[in-house]
Structure 1
Amino acid sequence: MTLPAPIQTYFTAQAPQDGAALAAAFAPDAVVLDEGATHNGPQAIRLWWLAAKAKYRHSAEPLDLTETGGKTVVRARVSGEFPGSPAVLTFTFGLADDRIRDLRIG
């Protein structure tokens, strides 16, 4: 499976050393919705990602990709230090100009 470049960056970035690369994959006005919270802009998204990596020590393995309604939907097996691990989660990406414009994790 070939993922679009910014989505590939999202799934392969390693914390904390790839924080800048992860932030650069997001558009200036990007929004992430995860666990009932909204994170706006690359810097806030980077801080959310670093905190989540530190808390859950998780990794995500993409399983499949579909295009639906202008969104790129990736189902991934997420393993880490959280109840129910591993779990299959859905990552719904909106892309614009080769960057992630929005991401909803559920």
Structure 2
Amino acid sequence: MHTGQPQDIAPADLPEVITRYLDAHRARDTATALATFRSGAEVTDDGSTHRGPQAIETWLNRAAGEYTYTIEPTGARKADEKRYVVTQHLEGDFPGGVADLFYRFTLGGGLIENLVIEP
């Protein structure tokens, strides 16, 4: 019976498009990461929202070049067929040096339509 509560899942059980985004982001492969988003997608990170392919590409390039860090998924949850949350552990030369962030994905049409990254 489904209770409507998010369910823990293995990161390996995430939809392919999310795994492709996470792998591309980790490899700093902007073109592959960008291809996982719908044309009208939005990304919210660090309190700023980036809408559409050009703004998301700029965000991806800035995120890849601003700091050096490692990123590792430590957990995943499925809210429903469209909404997933991935917990990522980051370590690097950014302020604080260590962070655990929630990547909240909303899917549509087989692609990412919304991504919110927050502590």
TM-score w.r.t. the length of structure 1 is 0.88
Q: Distance in 2 between matches of 1:39 and 1:63?
A: 25
CA RMSD of aligned residues (A): 1.5
Look up the match of 1:71.
83
5+ long unaligned stretches in structure 1: none
Partner of 1:11: 22
Does the 8 A contact of 1:11 with 1:60 survive in 2? no
Residue in structure 2 matching 1:33, options 21, 37, 44: 44
Q: CA 1:4 to 1:88, structure 2 compared with 1: closer, same or farther past 3 Å?
A: same
Q: Percent identity?
A: 37
Partner SS state of residue 84, structure 2 = strand
- Whichever of the two has the greater Rg, that structure is 2
Residue deviations 1:44-97, cap 9 Å, x none?
A: 212101111111223321111112265201111012221222211001000112
Contact in 2 for aligned 1:5/1:98 (Cα 8 Å): no
1:52 partnered with 2:56 = no
* Distance of 1:99 and 1:53 partners within structure 2: 21
Say if 2:92 is the partner of 1:92: no
Partner of 2:94: 82
**1:21 and 2:49 aligned:** no
- Aligned residue pair count: 104
